[in-house]
Structure formats: structure tokens, C-alpha cells
Amino acid sequence: MAHEVNLHYRPALQWGELDPNRRQSTPVGMWAWIWQRISAIAIVFLLGLHITLTYKPLVQFLLLTVVIFHAVLGLRVILLDFNLVNVKYQKALIAGLAVLGVVMVAIIWTGIY
């Protein structure tokens, strides 16, 4: 005897229709994944600027910030993939890693300048 489960799905979106709740319904892990990909592209761009504009503090600061941002998101993936942190604590993990990232930027930047 199979159990009947009543799942209520919202109707599918029609072609060209925008979901007004898509931003709120996107899980935090998906946003982290998207931002890590964006930061990878930014690293390539900023690395090119860093090579051509070697001693520009703004370019160096942006490159440092984006590299640490990318590294922090990578650390998040490692901690979740190896089950060192449970997925249900993902928002707290991201908040803690964000604080770690800001501290690392401050330590490295004050060490450089």
C-alpha cells in the first residue's frame, strides 16, 4: 500500500514570465556558487590590470579583496563537502567566513602598507 503524498506545486512559469519571488527563493548556497564564479572572472581581469598597472594601490587592494573573497567561498565549499560543517548551519558559516575574510584583508593590507 503506497502512501499518497499531497504536494502542492505552484504553476509553472510561462515563456517570458518572471518569477517575482525568485531572489527570495534562491538558496544561499546557489548565491555563494554564483558569486564565486563572478569573483573568478574578476580575478582574471584584476590580474591583468595588476600586471599593467603594477604599483597602483587601488588595483592591488581590489585584487587582494577579490582573491580573499574567492578563497573564503572556496573554504566554505571544502567545509561543506567534507561534512565538517552541517549544511543547515550554512548561513552562520558564511557570516563567520565573511568576518574572517575582512580580518584577513585588514591584516594583509596593513602589512603591505
Per residue in 30-61, pLDDT tens?
999 999 999 999 999 999 999 999 889 999 99
Give residue 78's domain range: 28-112
pTM, whole model, 2 decimals?
0.78
74 assigned to some structural domain: yes
36: closest CA among 78, 62, 79, 67?
A: 67
Q: Give the integer Cα–Cα distance in Å for 33 and 39.
A: 10
Q: Give the integer Cα–Cα distance in Å for 20 and 26.
A: 12
| Residues 52-87 pLDDT 10s | 998 899 999 999 999 999 999 999 999 999 999 999
13 assigned to some structural domain: no
Per residue in 83-104, is it b (16+ CB within 10 Å) or e — as a string? eebeeeebeebbeebeeebeeb
Tally of domains in the chain = 1
